[in-house]
């Protein structure tokens, strides 16, 4: 299993960054390079506790599907999304939003994931996913940051 964190400073209040982070449309736009789209569940707008969405995207030349559910929700401090079905043996993504003391937000993502397929999956984590997944989250967070800061204007 792999665990990593990503910290992003956003010049917008935690309430706004929290809401933007839960917006399905913002997420889809942030993953445009992989052709990510919603194929089930919440199709647009913000998600709430207990709601789920099924994403379809292309990574490594392969089409993947992942259904995730919001399993914790405490606006504006944090929420968690977890995989119900999909490519990972485990996917747990905790999103934390803290005021930075200057009207902005420190957004901290804590991701725990494990690839399937035992030793072969562990090798894939080590060789590829340990670099690919943090890059994917940073790309998403850069988009969330830009959307939240643009909304604040």
111-136 pLDDT, tens digit each:
999 999 888 888 888 888 999 999 99
What distances in angstroms separate CA 134 from CA 51, 125, 139, one per listed residue?
Answer: 25, 12, 9
Domain total of the chain: 1
Domain range spanning residue 76? 2-152
pTM: 0.94
Q: How confident is the model at residue 127, as a pLDDT? A: 86
What percentage of the chain exceeds 90 in pLDDT? Answer: 85
Looking up residue 27, the CATH number of its domain turns out to be 3.30.530.20
What percentage of the chain exceeds 70 in pLDDT? Answer: 99
């Amino acid at each position: 299993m792999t665990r990593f964190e990503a910290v992003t400073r956003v010049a917008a209040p935690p309430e706004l960054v929290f809401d933007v982070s839960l917006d399905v449309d913002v997420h889809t736009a942030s993953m445009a390079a992989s052709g990510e789209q919603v194929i089930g569940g919440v199709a647009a707008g913000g998600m709430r506790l207990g709601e789920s969405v099924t994403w379809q995207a292309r990574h490594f030349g392969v089409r993947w599907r992942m259904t995730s559910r919001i399993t914790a929700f405490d606006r504006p401090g944090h929420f968690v999304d977890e995989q119900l079905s999909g490519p990972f043996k485990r996917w747990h993504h905790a999103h934390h939003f803290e005021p930075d003391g200057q009207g902005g937000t420190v957004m901290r993502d804590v991701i725990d994931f494990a690839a399937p397929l035992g030793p072969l999956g562990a090798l894939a984590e080590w060789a590829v996913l340990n670099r690919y997944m943090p890059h994917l989250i940073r790309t998403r967070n850069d988009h969330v940051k830009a959307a939240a800061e643009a909304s604040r204007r």
